[in-house]
């Protein structure tokens, strides 16, 4: 996108469910003033958030806005009215809702940026002066404890930090876990009793950074791949060696007696963050796997949940850290072939046109296929609101209500040459969309986002 767009009263094919009251937001890299796309690593672009406001059965507006870091504000000729943070980057990886605010997230150093209801940047977030140093792109919110958890790293640290942000919005507890060698810690897992940390052999290369490498992380085949299990209340981590792989994203995790169950997307080693041209490369595509960590016997068992190429795993968010049944992913075979090829920046037609719904209890799945070239993004589950207007309460895994809601995603419409916001009924996943909100522009391929209820 070369400009910021605002559009009102968007046309809808079908009907937007009236209980969808909030904003669907998604973040992603969108370099400002890019001269040569072939010389650019597409994961490094300036963050841009795309949003659609739904209310009373209508799609009220679409907006896209760059995150106003100091560098972006300077490029746009705007003032930067806030104190410059120690590490500054226009967060391009995720956008979450926390305590009524939208936070745009980046890993490895920068603080979150805060966005208002109309996606304007209103400053950085240091959690009421309690965040000391780096934050993360992938947080975990425990709805029962009303805590936001993070595992933060910085290339200059010899440790990672487990941070707990309490219901008042302050960092209430910090636990440092020794982790020398500068590994990239993109995501982590959370259970009711544990924090799971992934030590993969993708490590910071100071020489590459000094040479100006865009992504100064290299695959270190001499480093052991490990999983660390940290007591959630603090203490020392216990480490388990596993075979080399690259861990990508956590779907969910939970405790089961003396074991910790962790469901993730991962891919075979080696993984090259800088890739060949324009993006990362790996030995194979990401698949959905279950890691069962036996704390009593001191071993890890790995088995596939689904061996089809897939990424962007999501679930009903109020079941994070608890047993669950349903999950949603995006099929990723063509995307990963593009990563590993010589074509440079992947073209739009090389991305997924299929979403997958998993029943991890029964071991079954359903798919929703879009037209070729749809380039559908990460699926986000939104619970159907109760008749009283609040969010539906979570039910135990296997309960009939866990998938009572909607799945939202951006998908390109090849016929219009623009993007639709798709609303699927989660319990009729393969059926026709309930609504296709027609946006006036093409939303570029991006990363993560979520549902911000009641314009929070």
Q: What is the pLDDT of residues 360-386, one digit of tens each?
A: 999 999 999 998 888 899 999 999 986
Q: CA-CA distance, 150 to 450, in Å (whole number)?
A: 17
Give the position of tokens 């939208």.
Answer: 102
Q: CA-CA distance, 260 to 359, in Å (whole number)?
A: 19
Give the position of tokens 């270190």.
Answer: 220
Give the position of tokens 């490029």.
Answer: 75
Mean pLDDT for the stretch of residues 206-228: 89
Distance of CA 233 to the CA centre of its chain: 25
Q: CA-CA distance, 119 to 28, in Å (whole number)?
A: 14
Q: Where would I find the beta strands (DSSP E) of 126-283?
A: 140-142, 147-152, 159-165, 171-178, 189-190, 194-199, 202-204, 217-219, 225-231, 238-242, 245-256, 259-268, 271-272, 281-282
Summarised one tens digit per residue, pLDDT across range 256-293 is: 999 999 999 999 998 888 765 556 777 888 999 999 99
Q: Where are the alpha helices (DSSP H) in 315-455?
A: 333-340
Sign of CA dihedral 176, 182, 186, 191: negative
Q: CA-CA distance, 340 to 334, in Å (whole number)?
A: 10
| Structure token pair of residue 223 | 């480093």
Distance of CA 28 to the CA centre of its chain: 10
pTM of the model: 0.93
pLDDT classification of 344: cutoffs 50, 70, 90: very low
Distance of CA 38 to the CA centre of its chain: 25
pLDDT of residue 386: 60
Tell which wins on pLDDT, 398 or 282: 282
Q: CA-CA distance, 381 to 315, in Å (whole number)?
A: 6
> Phi then psi for 337, rounded to 5 degrees?
-60, -40
């Amino acid at each position: 996108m070369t400009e910021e767009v605002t559009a009102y009263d968007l046309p809808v094919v079908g009907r937007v469910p009236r209980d969808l009251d909030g904003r669907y937001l998604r973040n992603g890299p969108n370099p400002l003033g890019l001269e040569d796309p072939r010389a650019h690593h597409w994961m490094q672009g300036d963050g841009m958030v795309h949003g659609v406001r739904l209310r009373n059965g209508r799609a009220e507006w679409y907006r896209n806005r760059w995150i106003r870091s100091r560098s972006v504000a300077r490029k746009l000729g705007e003032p930067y009215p806030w104190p410059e943070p120690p590490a500054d980057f226009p967060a391009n990886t995720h956008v979450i809702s926390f305590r009524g605010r939208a936070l745009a997230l980046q890993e490895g150093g920068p603080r979150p940026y805060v966005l208002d209801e109309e996606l304007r940047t209103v400053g950085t977030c240091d959690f009421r002066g309690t965040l000391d140093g780096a934050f993360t792109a992938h947080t975990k919110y425990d709805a029962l404890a009303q805590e936001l958890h993070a595992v933060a790293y910085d290339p200059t640290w010899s440790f990672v930090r487990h941070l707990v942000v309490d219901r008042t919005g302050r960092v209430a507890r910090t636990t440092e876990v020794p982790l020398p060698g500068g590994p990239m810690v993109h995501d982590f897992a959370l259970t009711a009793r544990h924090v799971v940390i992934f030590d993969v052999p993708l490590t910071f290369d100071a020489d590459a950074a000094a040479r100006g490498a865009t992504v100064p992380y290299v695959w270190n085949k001499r480093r052991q791949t490990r999983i660390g299990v940290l007591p959630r209340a603090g203490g020392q981590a216990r480490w388990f060696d596993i075979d080399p792989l690259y861990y990508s994203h956590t779907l969910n995790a939970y405790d089961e007696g003396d074991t910790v169950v962790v469901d993730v997307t991962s891919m075979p080693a080696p993984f090259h963050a800088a890739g060949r041209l324009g993006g990362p490369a790996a030995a194979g595509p990401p698949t959905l796997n279950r890691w069962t960590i036996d704390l009593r016997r001191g071993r890890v068992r790995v088995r596939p949940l689904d061996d089809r190429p897939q990424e962007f795993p999501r679930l009903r968010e109020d079941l994070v850290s608890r047993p669950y049944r349903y999950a949603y992913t995006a099929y990723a075979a063509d995307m990963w072939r593009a990563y590993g090829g010589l074509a440079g920046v992947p073209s739009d037609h090389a991305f997924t046109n299929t979403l997958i719904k998993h029943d991890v209890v029964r071991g079954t799945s359903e798919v929703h296929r879009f037209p070729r070239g749809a380039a559908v993004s990460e699926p986000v589950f939104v619970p159907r609101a109760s008749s009283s207007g609040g969010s539906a309460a979570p039910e135990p895994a296997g309960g009939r209500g866990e998938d009572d809601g909607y799945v939202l995603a951006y998908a390109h419409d090849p016929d219009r040459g623009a993007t639709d916001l798709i609303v699927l009924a989660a319990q009729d996943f393969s059926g026709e969309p309930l609504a296709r909100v027609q946006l006036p522009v093409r939303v570029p391929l991006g990363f993560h986002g979520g549902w911000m209820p009641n314009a929070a």
